[in-house]
Amino acid sequence: MNKIKRIICFSSCLGVCALAQAVEAPPAQPSMVAASASVPVPPQDEIRRVLTYYFDGKNSPPALVDFIPCLKVDTQKNSETANQCLEVAKELVPLNTRISLWTLWYLPQGSQYEDVVLQVFWNEQLRSTEDYRLSANGRFRTWKMVNLNKKGTWTFKIMQGTQELGVQKLSVE
């Protein structure tokens, strides 16, 4: 049984490992790979790091893989793109646009995080704070909805305590 768990984990890690080097700079588009596409195998040291994080990282911070302001998320349960961001918001959006602040996390086995929050700022003013409860093993996707109802600059921060895990900005006209 332990061998099967490791094989399943290894398979899920392959998709995440390729993103490990790009975590510092948010991608322009969500990281989605079609089922028929061939994905290059990551180097052994990357796979080892991810496996070590997964099996031994219970007390480590959560890994934020993607943080994307989305105009449309696929909410169909049986869809091939279920829970994926389908349309990324541009840097400039119209007034009263509803966006989903979509996140992709990679979490160690047995971990649970209740100290992660989303902060929403309009210009420099804090408008709201929402809690994340992260407790799945491996890949975990979630999103929070925000109505951009004022013109100006909107900033979205994901924080764990005082550490900033991710930031996105949009301008509303």
141, 159 Cβ separation under 8 angstroms: no
53-112: pLDDT as tens digits: 999 999 999 999 999 999 999 999 999 999 999 999 999 999 999 999 999 999 999 999
132-147: pLDDT as tens digits: 999 888 999 999 999 9
73, 124 Cβ separation under 8 angstroms: no
Per-residue model confidence (pLDDT) at position 13: 45
pTM of the predicted protein model: 0.77
How, if at all, do strands 85-88 and 63-73 pair? Answer: antiparallel
20-58: pLDDT as tens digits: 333 333 334 444 444 557 899 999 999 999 999 999 999
Measured distance CA(147)–CA(69) in Å, rounded: 12
The strand pairing partners of 72, in sequence order, are: 87
The strand pairing partners of 138, in sequence order, are: 107
